[in-house]
């Protein structure tokens, strides 16, 4: 099996997501838009879940405040994803919602790639080992994406303190 660092896996996911946002914003038919929104929702549900389970616990050991902020950014992203999931608005309104989410994602990717991932690269963690476990989990979740979607719904239903309580749990671990 080829060894891939968790950082490379996540960055490839970021580029894939950004491509989906671009194609979604360029879509002219409701059907194309719906298909791409569905892809974005599923990809984001899996991506945020694997980061929170495999990456953020490492980050919290390196910098607690940065990790806490990352959990909160994920929470804000999930609020918008949840809204998109339930949205029955017209094409232009959905496009505007996707645009706002895309801009938040762009900021979040920049934070991860310029600040958080370099911290991991400089650390002593075995990023190939964690990468292998994370990839297995990612592949599994992609086959059973409802697990990631349900977790996202549950977090939003649990209210605004869900992300903080989750990160506190992680800090307590
Ligand atoms: Fe990410
Ligand atoms: Fe993230």
Q: How far is CA 58 from CA 5, 24, 107, in A?
A: 14, 33, 21
CA 138/CA 141 separation, integer angstroms: 5
* End-to-end alpha carbon distance in the chain: 31
Q: Which of 29, 31, 144, 44 is nearest to 85 (CA)?
A: 44
Residue 37 contacts by C-beta under 8 Å, 6 or more apart in sequence? 24, 84, 94, 98
CA of 108 from ligand 2 middle (Å) equals 6
CA of 42 from ligand 1 middle (Å) equals 14
Could you tell me the residue ranges of all domains in the chain? 6-172
Q: In the prediction, which pLDDT does 4 show?
A: 78
Q: Calculate Rg over the CA atoms of the chain.
A: 16
Torsion of CA 7, 54, 13, 137, to 10 degrees: 130
CA of 119 from ligand 2 middle (Å) equals 14
CA of 85 from ligand 1 middle (Å) equals 20
List the chain pLDDT tens, one digit each, 173 residues.
Answer: 556 799 999 999 999 999 999 999 999 999 999 999 999 999 999 999 999 999 999 999 999 999 999 999 999 999 999 999 988 899 999 999 999 999 999 999 999 999 999 999 999 999 999 999 999 999 999 999 999 999 999 999 988 877 666 665 555 44
Model pTM greater than 0.85?
A: yes
Q: In the prediction, which pLDDT does 63 show?
A: 96
Q: Which ligand is nearest to the CA of 11?
A: 1
CA of 47 from ligand 1 middle (Å) equals 6
Helices 30-50, 127-143: crossing angle, 10 deg rounding: 140
Q: Which ligand is nearest to the CA of 138?
A: 1
């Amino acid at each position: 099996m080829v060894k891939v660092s968790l950082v490379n896996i996540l960055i490839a996911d970021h580029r894939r997501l950004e491509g989906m946002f671009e194609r979604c914003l360029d879509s002219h038919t409701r059907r194309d838009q719906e298909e791409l929104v569905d892809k974005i929702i599923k990809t984001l549900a899996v991506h945020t879940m694997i980061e929170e389970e495999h990456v953020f616990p490492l980050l919290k050991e390196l910098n607690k405040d940065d990790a806490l902020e990352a959990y909160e950014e994920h929470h804000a992203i999930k609020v918008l994803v949840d809204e998109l999931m339930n949205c029955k608005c017209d094409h232009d309104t959905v496009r505007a919602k996707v645009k706002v989410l895309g801009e938040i994602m762009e900021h979040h990717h920049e934070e991860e790639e310029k600040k958080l991932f370099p911290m991991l690269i400089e650390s002593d963690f075995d990023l190939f080992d964690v990468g292998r476990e994370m990839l297995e989990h990612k592949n599994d979740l992609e086959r059973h994406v409802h697990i990631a979607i349900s977790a996202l719904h549950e977090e939003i239903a649990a209210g605004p303190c869900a992300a903080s309580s989750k990160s506190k749990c992680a800090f307590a671990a």
